Structures are given as structure tokens and as C-alpha cells.
Structure 1
Amino acid sequence: MGNTRLAGMASARAPPSPGTTTSRCALWHRTTRGSGDGGGRDLGEAGGGASQSWATAAASSLRRDVPAGYPAIPGRKRALLVGVSYKGTSYELEGTVNDVDLMSTLLSDSFGFPSDSILILTEELGAGDSSRMPTRDNVMSAMRWLVEGSEAGDSLVFHFSGHGVQKLDVSGDEVDGYNEAICPVDFEASGKIVDDEINDTIVRPLGPGVKLHAIVDTCHSGSILDLPFLCRLSRTGYWQWENYCRRPDLAKGTSGGLAISISGCSDDQKSADSSGFSSEQSAAIGAMTYSFIKAVESEPGTTYGRLLGAMRATIRDGQGSGRRLLPGRLGSFVRKMIPSGAVQEPQLCSSEMFDIYKKPFLL
């Protein structure tokens, strides 16, 4: 299929200068990991109490009233796509709406998702319908909508494009001591959505035969679903699953279904907006979203291992293009031998272990 959707992408906004990138971890009130750390900054404590409360309700009590504008609970395939631009702020992002538009097209054209089973939340849509504004309440309601009534054979997709941060873990279940969180448009007033809440809302309710893919394009998103297994993949293709469950007494898996997350970077990295990946790309788009769509369209029926490897290669070439002066095969060899900590690396996590080079990627 090539990259026809990427090449034909239009944007109503003026894109940044070619090759520029914008971090999806904005610079806010106070540092997350101490003043000596060069990473992203926390978003302050406004609304922090709400963001740290866990969604402790069991799967049977997840049924809630959802806004009238949301699609009726559909059949085998449904998707929730959230793009947050944070318009009018110093940490505004330009590529998030493009991200969800492209993801919607990919799901419809390549994987047969009916258009009326795809729920999109953006500030643009929210201007005409308040239920489509990506506020904390709406995102939580939409996540409940995504999994509600799911049955064996259902395929669910959650895509979030926006800012992500880390917060100190007080429960002792995080390997690195930090919770990961996504930032709705009203995070300063209502709080962030931490990985514990995401896990409780869209992972634990999944029953046998239900499949969920989360595609998350934010900073610090490696373990954003709090799934128990993270795949370590080297540039030479060697891979192994790492148990990411620090406290076995805290259930982080599903209720029999399968949950897989593909995220923009590891927990200690930043993810970027970029308009400089290729000559065919003219509008801002998330680096991870671009690499994901390109990998899927270039090799239909690919495996999870090949998908992750292709995404990382695209991002290495794109994010380093402005700094890499060695051309051709020599330059390629040097880039492979000398890894750059500044280049984000998409991550794969799962509720169960599998052979990443044998299992086909299917939505």
C-alpha cells in the first residue's frame, strides 16, 4: 500500500519548519525526577488528588451513563481515538489532530473498523459537541464505553496522542518508582489520568477472547497501561519478555482477554512531534504515530517483532537526520553501532508473553 495516506495528509495549521521537533512532555511547574534530571517536568499538583484515585470498581460495575453523542455499543470492532492539542497554551501540540485523523483512516481502510464504531475526542470536535472535548471526565467515560459489553472475538483499540508525564509512585508497584500518566485538556483543573486508572478501566475488565490494542503517542509512555510484561528488543533482533510486575498481589492483567500496548518511547524518554521525517510528509504528526502507520502500510500482515523494529528504524532515521553527517552505508553502520539516548524508542508491552516474530499483528 505504500505511504499514500501519509503523503496525502492535509493540515489546516501551518506546520513547523522542516526537521523541527516538539517534545510531547511539556515544560511545566516542577520537575518530576528532581531538579538535576534533564527529563520532562511534572504538571504541578492541581487536581492531583483526582488523578491518583484508582478506578476500583469491578468490571461488573463499569456500566455508566455515557454522553448521548457517543456511538451505540457496536459489534466486533470499536476504537477510541483521543487527540489533545492544548490550544492557546505554552505547551500546545500541532500534530495530535492529524494523528487521530490518520489512525481513523487506517482502522477503517486497512482493518475494517466501521466508521460509526470509532469515537474521536479532540478540541475541534468538542467546540461543537461538549461530549467530544478531551476532558478528564470525557476520556474516562469514553474508556468505559470502549470496553463495556465486550465479548469474545471483539477487537478494541485505544489511541491517545498528547502530553504524558511521570508521577511519584506511592503504592510501590512501579519498577522505577514512578507512575506514568496521560494529560487530558483540563489536567490542571481536573488532574491527569495515571496508569493505574487506565489499567483498571480498560485492561482488567477484558474477558476471554477480547483483544485490546493501545497505541499511545506521548512522553514517558513505555508502561502506560501497567501491563505485567515488557518486551526488550535489541537492534540485532534479540528479544525477551521482562516481568514488569513488582507486586504480584496487585492484579495488573486482564480477566482472561489480551491487552497489548505499543507506545511512543520508554518510561524515561520523551516522544516528539515532527514534520521532518520524509519529503512526502509536510504536516506535523507524532513521530510514533507516523512510524506506526508507515510500518503497518508497508508490510500488511507483519508480526509484532517486525512492526516494532520497523518503527524504531523509522524514528532513528527521522529524528537523527538533522545531526547525522555520515552518508550511505558507513553512516548507517555508525548509527547502528552508536545508539543515541536522544532518540525515542517505541515499546511493546503485553498482558501475556508470546513469540513476537511469529504472532501476526492484527487489529
Structure 2
Amino acid sequence: MSRRKALLIGINYYGTDHELNGCINDAENIRNFLVEERGFSPSDHDMVMLSDSPENEGTPFFPTAANIMAGINWLVTRNQPGDVLWLSYSGHGGQVRNDERESGFDDTICPVDFMENGQIPSQKLHRAIVSPMNPECRLTILFDCCHSGSACELPYVYRPDEEGNVNMVDTIKQGIGLIRAAEGLFEGGFSMSKIDDAKMLLGGATDFFNGLHHRRNQDVDEDGLAPEEFEEHWETEGKDVWMFSGCADNQTSADTSIAGAPTGAMSWALVRTLRENPEQSYINILQNTREELAQKYSQIPQLSCGGRYDLDQPLVKTSHKVASR
């Protein structure tokens, strides 16, 4: 018999210069949604919530780096085929220098003790979350934090544009726009300041196109996508993982208030979308979540997958992959 397990993390960073307001509420709202709408059990055996509520300090439920990694290990190991897993994180996301990457940075999440013990980089998260998974389990991830697009380094990334079309066109247009802006600077004559501005714009365009990482001459799928190029060939793992993230790598994720209660904009929009229609496909969830966010926020949610899976399948209760590898 399949089992449902969930790890929910919400960090408000109480009493620090980095304090947020809605992250613990996000975790509680996700817990209520999973129990009420998705058949998860709230028992400690099946659902673990880490938060920096004062009563958790000094316990395994305080979201230090060590406790987060222990919680992840509990979630993704010793599972049986058909198990359904959920991981959500609401808190600060960041970036740390990594000169071995084309972008020069690793995306990270920030445990409550990140000032003392550091941030958790995306490569470490992938190795802890995705690599140990039973390939016959399905894991859904929600990351509501800044710079969350590549937080788990999943190889296939889908983003909706302004019309709701799910592809990479918005990023490509942004790079092309920078090139055109650089060209437009020279209308009316040259100047040293214009040359400097053009170099900056063209450098930005190069970063955008390098950020696509589609340089292996691989076949693309019907959406025009090829795997993201990380240091490891994660696309060969074929793990059944689907991650909704609050924004692209170069964006911030809003901490806001809905109906008087502090919350993360992405967490609120995703739960609202799923409650309104529980049987939506993955692509519909992504499109409708963007539509919700676009009414007030500039952040663009995205969906990352462990393989080339059928985005038209519903967010189902058991593992059913459709892949071409």
C-alpha cells in the first residue's frame, strides 16, 4: 500500500535583520491543504513540520541546516514504489559565489542558522533530495523563496510567458531585448558613455543566453527545451520529481499579506489554484498560478522536472510518469 509523506519548512528568522512574516503561515497552510485536499495524514509518522517558532528551539523541529538535512533524509529514503512525497520550503533563498559555474553563482536556501553554519547550495540539495529517491515514487516540491528557479538543479525547466504559453521564450526575448537595447544606444552618434553602457547590456545578454545552458547539441522536446547544463548530468537520473518555484533564478519572491494574514505570494497562489480545481494538469497549475501572481507581482513561477514528462497529466495521487529519455 502506498504511503504519503510530507516535509514542510517555514522560517521567519525571528529577531534578526532578515526577519520575514509569512513563512510559518505558508507551512501551516500547505499542511492544511495536504490534509484536507490530498489525503495526507497529519501524524508525526507521516508529516514533519520544521519552523522557528519559539517552542521548537532546541528540538529536532527547529530548522537548522542539520535538522533540514535530517528531515530531507527521512522524506526521501526507505520508501516503497508508489509512495507520494511532498516537500515545501518557505524562507530566504540566496546565491553564493561559485566560479566554476558559468553564472558564477550557486542558488541556495537559508536555514535559520545560516549566519553561523552557512547556506545550503543547490547541488547539495539535489544530492540529498533527488539522487537517493526511489524512482517509482513521486515527489512534488514547492520552493517559495528568492532565486529559487534552480534550487534543486532539476534538468528540465518550464516557464510561462505573458500569454500563458509554457516555454523558454520569455528568457530568450529578454536576452534579445538587451542586444537590441545595446544597438539602439548608438542612434544619434557614439560616445564613451554609450560604449560603456552597450558593453554592460551586451554582457548581460551573454549571461542570459549562457544561463540557458543548452549547448550540448541535444535534441529538444516539443516545447523547444533541452536539459539545463549543470556540472552533473542530472537528466540521466530520470527521477519522478516536479518542483514549483516562486520565481526564476534572477528574481525575488514576495513576502506579502493576504486577507490580513502574512504569507508568501507563491505559496498562496499555488494553494488557491489547487483548491479551486484539484484535478488540473501540471501545465494548467503553472499557467493559473502565474495568472494569480501577475495580478500583483512581477515574479514568474516556473516548473522544473526530473525528466521530459507529459505536462498535460494531472497532479495525481500516485506515481505515473510519461517520459521520453
TM-score range, shorter chain: 0.7 to 0.9
Alpha-carbon distance, 1:306 to partner: 1.1
Could you tell me which runs of 5 or more consecutive residues in structure 1 were left unpaired when the two chains were aligned: 1-73, 320-342
Which of residues 75, 86, 97 is equivalent to 1:157?
Answer: 86
> TM-score, normalised on structure 1?
0.68
Which of residues 250, 269, 279 is equivalent to 1:268?
Answer: 250
Instruction: Tell me how far apart the structure 1 counterparts of residues 304 and 17 of structure 2 sit (CA, whole Å).
Output: 32
Alpha-carbon distance, 1:252 to partner: 2.1
Q: Give the residue type in structure 1 aligned to 2:69.
A: M
Which of residues 22, 37, 42 is equivalent to 1:115?
Answer: 42
Secondary structure of residue in 2 paired with 1:243: coil
Which of residues 281, 301, 306 is equivalent to 1:346?
Answer: 301
Instruction: Name 2:174's counterpart in structure 1.
Output: none
Instruction: Tell me how far apart the structure 2 counterparts of residues 78 and 253 of structure 1 sit (CA, whole Å).
Output: 25
Instruction: Name 1:86's counterpart in structure 2.
Output: 13
Query: 1:302–1:355: structure 2 CA closer, same or farther, 3 Å change rule?
Result: same
Instruction: Name 1:55's counterpart in structure 2.
Output: none
Instruction: Tell me how far apart the structure 1 counterparts of residues 109 and 58 of structure 2 sit (CA, whole Å).
Output: 22
Instruction: Tell me how far apart the structure 2 counterparts of residues 236 and 213 of structure 1 sit (CA, whole Å).
Output: 25
Query: 1:199–1:260: structure 2 CA closer, same or farther, 3 Å change rule?
Result: same
Query: 1:230–1:223: structure 2 CA closer, same or farther, 3 Å change rule?
Result: same
Instruction: Name 2:282's counterpart in structure 1.
Output: 304
Q: How does 1:99-110 map to 2 (within 5 A)?
A: 99-110=26-37
Instruction: Name 2:149's counterpart in structure 1.
Output: 222
Q: How does 1:202-213 map to 2 (within 5 A)?
A: 202-213=129-140
More helix per residue: 1 or 2?
A: 2
Instruction: Name 1:134's counterpart in structure 2.
Output: 63
CA contact (8 A) 1:207 1:254 kept: no
Secondary structure of residue in 1 paired with 2:234: coil
| Over 4 Å off, 4+ runs | 253-256
Secondary structure of residue in 2 paired with 1:232: strand
- Is 1:183 matched with 2:110? yes
Q: How does 1:248-287 map to 2 (within 5 A)?
A: 250-253=232-235, 255-276=237-258, 281-287=259-265
Could you tell me which runs of 5 or more consecutive residues in structure 2 were left unpaired when the two chains were aligned: 167-222, 318-325
Instruction: Tell me how far apart the structure 2 counterparts of residues 179 and 105 of structure 1 sit (CA, whole Å).
Output: 32
Secondary structure of residue in 2 paired with 1:284: strand
Q: Give the residue type in structure 2 aligned to 1:227.
A: L
Query: 1:206–1:256: structure 2 CA closer, same or farther, 3 Å change rule?
Result: farther
Query: 1:145–1:126: structure 2 CA closer, same or farther, 3 Å change rule?
Result: farther
CA contact (8 A) 1:125 1:132 kept: no
CA contact (8 A) 1:206 1:256 kept: no
Alpha-carbon distance, 1:253 to partner: 4.4
> TM-score, normalised on structure 2?
0.75
CA contact (8 A) 1:77 1:156 kept: yes
